[in-house]
Amino acid sequence: MEPSAEYLRSLFLPMDTPARVASVVGLAFGLLVLRYFLGVGLARLLARGRGLTASRRQLRSELLWSIAASAALAGLVAAGVQAYESGWTLLYFEVAERGWGYLAASFGIVLLVHETYYYWVHRLLHLDLFYRLLHRHHHQFVTPGPWAAFSFHPLEAAVSHAVLPALLLLIPLHPAVICAYLLWMAVSGAVNHLGAELYPSVADGRSWASRFARAAVGRTFIGATHHSQHHRLYRYNYGLALTLWDRVAGTQHPEFDADFDAASRGPVSGPTPDVQTSPSQIAASASMSE
């Protein structure tokens, strides 16, 4: 039975006093932190203990930056709620209003729009100025752990996700799609930083059809192999969840396919965890390895 529209609308608290604004931000922050832990927990469960074990120092750093980033994202949620209350958004609450087909399609639209936006923002963040000011915190460790999924400077987190509340103004979206996408981001981000490849390679399938399907999934959705290459050699692999733009723009690591097959169902190869603080330092290590 579908919840009533009035009940769903009641979840968006009126933001007409500072206390109510604080309550919305606090509730959003709590849910975002919960999403973070759920995403990491699910990724570790799927990995069955094959993920890398971070040091206490690394774990503490990734946790603190992820919590700070969640606070920034809670601010974006509050902005979205305020836009809804002002009548600026195209949110709708009855699935029957547009049908289940549109509900599923709108998830794909959000995924593709955010992927496109994030890819180009990510490339800008690797310019030396923005890297030193913001993005270096995410690249503090060459070999990240799943807890690094949202380990960003708060300003970077806000900029990287600003397109999501903007979409509320541009296309009709159901709250269920927004929640599903946020959870998808949490799991996908943790999987990308897991250190163990979850997507199977061609060698894992028994039939031609299963080999093709598994290889297509593993080469379309970004996993640990793809993103580990980015952390080791920052000039490659800027995508968020899909390899789409890296393939189109020519920034896919030339050895990704081979490394993916080698790493499938095993630990992702890479250097001993270390700290890198600038693109020039990472570029130097890249030149040495090529």
Alpha carbon distances (Å) from 217 to 200, 211, 260: 8, 10, 12
| Predicted confidence (pLDDT) per residue in 228-274, tens digit | 889 888 789 999 999 899 999 999 998 887 787 777 645 554 443 33
More confident residue, 260 or 112: 112
pLDDT for residue 196: 76
How far apart (Å, rounded) are the C-alpha atoms in residues 227 and 90? 34
Please classify residue 73 by burial: count the beta carbons closer than 10 Å to its beta carbon, then call 0-12 exposed, 13-18 middle and 19+ buried.
buried
Q: Which residues have CB under 8 Å from 104's CB, separation 6+?
A: none
> Is residue 18 scored above 90 in pLDDT?
no
- Phi/psi at 49 (5° precision): 80, 5
Q: What pLDDT digit, counting tens, does each position of 113-131 carry?
A: 999 999 999 999 999 999 9
**Which residue stretches of the chain are H helix?**
5-10, 18-47, 56-85, 99-125, 128-133, 154-161, 163-170, 175-192, 208-220, 224-232, 244-249, 256-263, 279-289
The Cα 64–Cα 228 span in angstroms is 21
On the question of pLDDT at 210 being above 60, the answer is no
Rg of the chain in Å (alpha carbons)? 20
Residue 4 has pLDDT above 70, yes or no: no
Give the residue from 183, 187, 190, 178 showing the smallest Cα distance to 77.
178
Residues 2/95, Cβ–Cβ less than 8 Å: yes
Q: Which pTM value belongs to this model? A: 0.82
| DSSP class per residue in 23-75 | HHHHHHHHHHHHHHHHHHHHHHHHHTT-SPPPPHHHHHHHHHHHHHHHHHHHH
**What single-letter amino acid sits at 83?**
A
| Distances from the Cα of 121 to the Cα of 36, 58, 104, 118, 127, angstroms | 22, 25, 26, 5, 10
Integer CA distances (angstroms), 219 to 19, 216, 264, 288, in order: 47, 5, 11, 27
Q: What is the pLDDT of residues 36-57, one digit of tens each?
A: 988 888 887 877 766 566 678 8
Nearest to 236 by CA among 117, 146, 123: 123
